[in-house]
Amino acid sequence: MPGRADPTRADPAGTGSARAEPAGPAHGEGTLPAAGGPGPSTAAPPAAGAAPAGARREQLLAAAARLMADRGYHGVSINDIGAAAGVSGPAVYKHFPSKQAMLTELLVGISERLLAEGTARAAAAADPDEALDALVRWHVSFALDSPELIRVQDRDLASMDESAARLVRRLQRRYVEVWVAQLRARDVGLAEDAARAAVHATFGLLNSTPYSATGGAARLGRARMADLLHRLGLAVLHAAS
């Protein structure tokens, strides 16, 4: 997601001593054979109460996001993530080849989702004002529902493989430009640099949510906080005109 001030800038990586990760499974271990023709399966049935593979994958990603948001990428091990999701560390490798792959899926995945949903909402709007309203509502919902991902990017974008980090930055620049286009369509005389600065300022406000979720902000409740952020976000955008 775009960072609190500049989504194209990698913040310093979090600190913490690195822990050794257990080796992944040997080639073919823990995998199912390729699908074939009809016939009896030789694979063991899933244990009673076991989560389906897709659900387990999501549980692992959610656990990784929580732990990395709290401790930083380098302060979390595969064993920690597995334990938080209720599986052993080596079992994580049935779903992800490495901790780095989990970080990549978290940050690339949410960047793709922000861009896709933002683009769709802007396209469905009747005019620029409606588009900006929809974009702010969408980003407020994201910020309130996924504060861990904002914290992970703020601290650990620089911990990603460089190629993955470049992809995140490209996706987020495209997301910014969706907002810039609607703001300039609302005010055709608005300079591009001014529009982009207003959009970044709006992200800075909305993405501060994980850092203001205690005390009075927490006591507001989600609905009131969402309404407040929506009104403030639109005010920042409109101030550029």
Q: What is the CATH number of the domain that holds 153?
A: 1.10.357.10
pLDDT given at position 153: 96
Which pLDDT band, with edges at 50, 70 and 90, does 48 fall under?
A: very low
Global pTM? 0.77
Q: Which range is least confidently modeled, 32-46, 49-63, 86-100, 104-118? A: 32-46
Q: What is the domain extent for residue 210?
A: 101-239
The structure tokens listed for 157 are 């974008």
In a domain, 87, yes or no: yes
Burial of residue 128 (CB within 10 Å: 0-12, 13-18, 19+) is middle
pLDDT of 132 strictly over 50: yes
Q: Please indicate, yes or no, whether residues 91 and 156 belong to a single structural domain of this protein.
A: no
pLDDT given at position 70: 95
pLDDT given at position 26: 35
In a domain, 23, yes or no: no
Q: Which range is least confidently modeled, 1-15, 62-76, 99-113, 189-203? A: 1-15
pLDDT given at position 209: 83
In a domain, 212, yes or no: yes
Contact 12, 158 (CB under 8 A): yes
Q: Position of tokens 């989560």?
A: 51
Domain finish residue from 63, 96, 129: 96
Q: Please indicate, yes or no, whether residues 120 and 229 belong to a single structural domain of this protein.
A: yes
pLDDT given at position 29: 30
pLDDT given at position 232: 97
pLDDT of 40 strictly over 60: no
In a domain, 9, yes or no: no
Q: Please indicate, yes or no, whether residues 105 and 196 belong to a single structural domain of this protein.
A: yes
pLDDT given at position 220: 83
Question: Within 13 Å of residue 126, how many CA atoms lie on the same side as its CB?
Answer: 0
Q: Between 18 and 137, name the one with better pLDDT.
A: 137
Q: What domain count does the chain have?
A: 2
- Find the mean pLDDT for residues 106-130: 98
Which pLDDT band, with edges at 50, 70 and 90, does 55 fall under?
A: confident
Q: Which range is least confidently modeled, 32-46, 111-125, 207-221? A: 32-46
- Find the mean pLDDT for residues 103-130: 98
Say whether 158 sits in a helix, a strand or coil: helix
Taking only the tens place, the pLDDT of each residue in 176-203 is 999 999 999 999 999 999 999 999 999 9
Q: Please indicate, yes or no, whether residues 92 and 159 belong to a single structural domain of this protein.
A: no
User: What's at 102, amino acid-wise?
Assistant: M
- Find the mean pLDDT for residues 71-89: 95
Q: Please indicate, yes or no, whether residues 216 and 233 belong to a single structural domain of this protein.
A: yes
pLDDT given at position 8: 36
Helices (H), the chain: 53-71, 78-85, 99-124, 128-145, 147-156, 162-186, 192-206, 216-220, 222-239
With CA atoms as reference, report the closest residue to 25 among 79, 96, 77.
96
In a domain, 43, yes or no: no
In a domain, 170, yes or no: yes
Q: Please indicate, yes or no, whether residues 194 and 138 belong to a single structural domain of this protein.
A: yes
- Find the mean pLDDT for residues 51-57: 75
Contact 148, 1 (CB under 8 A): no
pLDDT of 172 strictly over 50: yes
The structure tokens listed for 79 are 């064993």
Q: Between 204 and 5, name the one with better pLDDT.
A: 204
In a domain, 28, yes or no: no
In a domain, 216, yes or no: yes
